[in-house]
Amino acid sequence: MFADIVSNLSLGLSIAASPEGFLFLVIGAFLGMIVGLFPGFGPAAGIAVLIPMTFGLEPTIAIIMLAGIYYGSMYGGTITSILINTPGESATVASTIDGYPLAQKGRAGPALVMQAIASFFGGTVGVVLITALAPSLANFAASFGPSEYFLIIAVGLLMLTTMMGDNKFKGFISALIGFAIGTVGVDVMSGQQRYTFGSSELIGGVYFVAVAIGLFGIGELMHCMFNGQHTHPAKRLRIGFRDKEFWPSKKDYHESRWTFWRGSAIGFIAGVLPGSGATLGSIIGYSVEKKVAKDPEKFGKGEMRGLVAPEAANNAASAGAMVPLLALGIPGSGATAVLLGAFLMWGLQPGPLLIVNDPEFVWGLIASMYLGNMILIAMSIFAIPLFVKFLDIPYVNVVPVIVLLCVIGAYAINASIIETWILVGSGLVGFAMKKYGYSPAATVLALVLGSMAEETFLQTYIISQGTMNLFWERPVSLVLSIILLAVIIVPLIVSFRGRIRKKAAVSSS
């Protein structure tokens, strides 16, 4: 098995390290850093907006570049979390808790270096685990039937929504909206048109890229404007890696030595679980680190471990999320849902057979992630002055760039003005969803997985002759059904216990 992995990785490296592959990997990583830098423009929007720019490329090279944007943004997003207390993207929210106080203490340099090292560590551990797990999972998944696939999708979406605290109902509605949009077009089973309103442009369904760009790009941008981001002046920050205080101390490394491992392990598990993603991974990473610390009172006041844990976790999670994507064809987050859409656009058939049918693609992508992490750590440390300089650009000048890329990108894909209007409508809905606590990520995920969910659900219904007993008769289905029930019941119990405790506290006081 080890020999197989080595030979597959060499095959992948021959593609990723080719001049073209390497060039677009560097471009992807660089763009990812910039995408991460600007608040309100996360990896999902970045990938969706830049898909049209990969039109002239080979599919593998295009996906290598788009994946570079995906994990590159995890590195870039923390720079603003540390320097200006504004996370560049959701997965770096937890990094502000200790990152910004570190900068206020005059330790911005060590914080930036440690986040880069933690990101590299988490990302590399994640890719090593992908290399080991993705082929085995794909082999295992080859025996999956429709009931297993439907349950994985259901578990993923429910996990995404139930982890939204008080907003879990809104998360559930967000996923249903995605399913509803996904029903537009021709029904694959019967050939009947659904919700096309006589328009020939809707027969093929609502194209997910326009919706994704609208929800993540225009919607997030409008939300940033609502928060007054465009009124903030340029930051004019300066950081140089030649400064003595730029580098972390031995104490920083020593204290964080286990944090790197813990954060990476937690993040990877969170990433592999469908629906969790890097945001949840980083928050769990932070929470666990604080709980296991002997001095939790230091957290939130500029503790290096409080920065290292979420950083290692979000990068490991972003790598972990590639496992279900590559092995099952099921994305676990908004950004990987957009990547799945890109796979389909390039004619790749995601699922367990992808590794068998397209080994150059899968191993090229995995090998590119090893190289990408190396490029990104070098960029994150030695090019920090350059990336910090990007923050000199006032947000008011960034807004038109995003709008033009979104509109022109959405139009260019199919030269369709209807899709461009869908983008505008999705933008408005995305803004409202973001503002009122709904989950645009759940909508895109459900939209991308909608047809698969419907097909597998109906197949299960037909095979079991309407009894649905396939959901508990097959061993894997049974385990997944139990997990599904646990995902529904556990948060209810937790919330019920919380209410009882609150009531008890109120009555005792």
Partner 1 sequence: MKKWFAAALLLLSIGYTIYGLNTLTLLTSSGRPAAGFFPLLIGVLLIVSCAVNLWGDVQEWQKERQTGVRPVHQADPEAEAKADALGVDAHAIDGGPEYGRDVFIVFVYICAFVGIMKIVGALLAMILFMLAFLFTFNRGHVIGNVIYSIALPGFLYGLFKILLNASLPTSPFGF
Q: How far apart are the first and last CA of the chain?
A: 62
Q: Which residue has the tokens 């556990």?
A: 490
Question: Which residues lie closer than 8 Å to 40 by C-beta, 6 or more apart?
Answer: 220, 221, 223, 224, 229
Distance, CA of 130 to CA of 268 (rounded, Å): 9
Q: Which is nearer to partner 1, 113 or 442 (CB)?
A: 442
State the nearest-atom distance from the C-beta of 465 to partner 1, in Å.
10
Q: Which is nearer to partner 1, 239 or 399 (CB)?
A: 399
State the nearest-atom distance from the C-beta of 346 to partner 1, in Å.
15
- Report the DSSP pairing between strands 193-194 and 185-186: antiparallel
* Helical segments of 464-474, H only: 470-473
Q: Which is nearer to partner 1, 96 or 368 (CB)?
A: 96
State the nearest-atom distance from the C-beta of 311 to partner 1, in Å.
14
Distance, CA of 107 to CA of 126 (rounded, Å): 28
State the nearest-atom distance from the C-beta of 179 to partner 1, in Å.
5
Q: Which is nearer to partner 1, 283 or 377 (CB)?
A: 283
State the nearest-atom distance from the C-beta of 192 to partner 1, in Å.
4
Give kind and range of the element (H or E) at residue 385: helix 384-390
CB-neighbour burial class of residue 347 (10 A; exposed 0-12, middle 13-18, buried 19+): exposed
Q: Which is nearer to partner 1, 178 or 351 (CB)?
A: 178
SS3 state at 194: strand
Structure tokens at 265: 């392990």
Backbone angles phi, psi at 105, to 5 degrees: -80, 0
CA triple 422-426-429, angle to 5 deg: 145
State the nearest-atom distance from the C-beta of 315 to partner 1, in Å.
16
Q: Which is nearer to partner 1, 65 or 327 (CB)?
A: 65
Q: What's the chain's Rg over C-alpha atoms?
A: 22
Q: Which is nearer to partner 1, 14 or 451 (CB)?
A: 451
Q: Which is nearer to partner 1, 62 or 326 (CB)?
A: 62
Rounded to the nearest angstrom, the gap between the alpha carbon of residue 409 and the centroid of all alpha carbons in its chain is 21
State the nearest-atom distance from the C-beta of 412 to partner 1, in Å.
4
Residue-by-residue DSSP string for 257-324: HHHHHHHHHHHHHHHHSTTTHHHHHHHHHHHHHHHH-S-GGGTTSS-HHHHHHHHHHHHHHHHHTHHH
State the nearest-atom distance from the C-beta of 349 to partner 1, in Å.
22
Q: Which is nearer to partner 1, 14 or 227 (CB)?
A: 227
How far apart, in Å, are the Cα atoms of 26 and each of 30, 63, 79, 221, 399? 6, 13, 19, 26, 25
State the nearest-atom distance from the C-beta of 361 to partner 1, in Å.
22
